[in-house]
Amino acid sequence: MSIDEPGLSSGEIAALARRLNRPIVLVGMMGAGKSTVGRKLAQMLDLPFCDADEEIEKAAQLTITEIFDRFGEGYFRGGERRVMARLMEEGRGVIATGGGAFCQDETRRLILEKGVAIWLDSDVDTLVERVGRKDTRPLLRDGDPHEIIGRLRTEREPHYSQAHLHIVSGPGPHQNTVSRILEALDQWL
Ligand code: S3P
């Protein structure tokens, strides 16, 4: 999005929010910007925002790292599946998912059936740069983040590519990504 592309007006965004009859679900790799972009998007559409990882932490009364450390990834995935089922049942607003959620068959089916799935996609360098800002991702602790992210992105792409919309979340400001999502939704709905 450049300065020549003004994007949707506030009236058009309000009209878009009225046409939305299902939750917007952001999927994609760690570091794609799902939580930050989701928050901004929800704010612009005047809709509630929910971060699935935070919901898992609330339900478990533990951080994601603590869940992985004490019970392992399999246990975390079980909690993730249950939380996603509840959020899709509640069916409101904008939901940011954890990077692995859309790769679970049951969760992906639910999201595709009840929501509009948006794949936020970034190249590996951008993802690595962004995840480097936080130290809260257990999958990145044991090894070279560039190698792990590159491998997971390749493995997961067949799942992510089933999302209804594919939006590139480039290295620039997240607001550009939000504007692209609003335009893509406006055309898709
Ligand atoms: C994971 C991504 C994380 C979190 C967990 C596992 C993954 O969420 O759910 O550490 O499997 O890619 P973010 O995508 O918000 O970092």
Quick: pLDDT tens for 155-179.
Answer: 999 999 999 999 999 888 899 999 9
75 CA to centre of ligand 1 in angstroms: 14
Instruction: Enter the tokens of residue 137.
Output: 């991702």
Segment 68-104, tens digit of pLDDT:
999 999 999 999 999 999 999 998 899 999 999 999 9
CA angle 91–166–157, rounded 5-degree value: 100
Work out the mean pLDDT of the chain and round it to a whole number.
Answer: 93
45 CA to centre of ligand 1 in angstroms: 25
| Unique residue bearing structure tokens 């257990």 | 138
Surface-to-core class of residue 161, CB atoms within 10 Å of its CB (0-12 exposed, 13-18 middle, 19+ buried): exposed
Give residues with Cβ within 8 angstroms of 60, minimum separation 6. Answer: 66, 67, 79
Amino acid at 132: G
C-beta separation of 163 from 119 below 8 A? yes
119 sits in which H/E element: strand 116-121
**Ligand 1: does its nearest atom lie under 6 Å from the Cβ of 130?**
no
Position 1 scores a pLDDT of: 46
Residue nearest to atom 11 of ligand 1 (CA): 100
**Ligand 1: does its nearest atom lie under 6 Å from the Cβ of 51?**
no
pTM of the model: 0.95
Instruction: Enter the tokens of residue 102.
Output: 């859309």
Sheet holding 49-51, edge to edge: 49-51, 94-96, 24-27, 116-121, 165-168
> Which of 69, 44, 66, 46 is CA-nearest to residue 57?
66
Position 66 scores a pLDDT of: 96
10 CA to centre of ligand 1 in angstroms: 32
| pLDDT at residue 26 is higher than 90 | yes
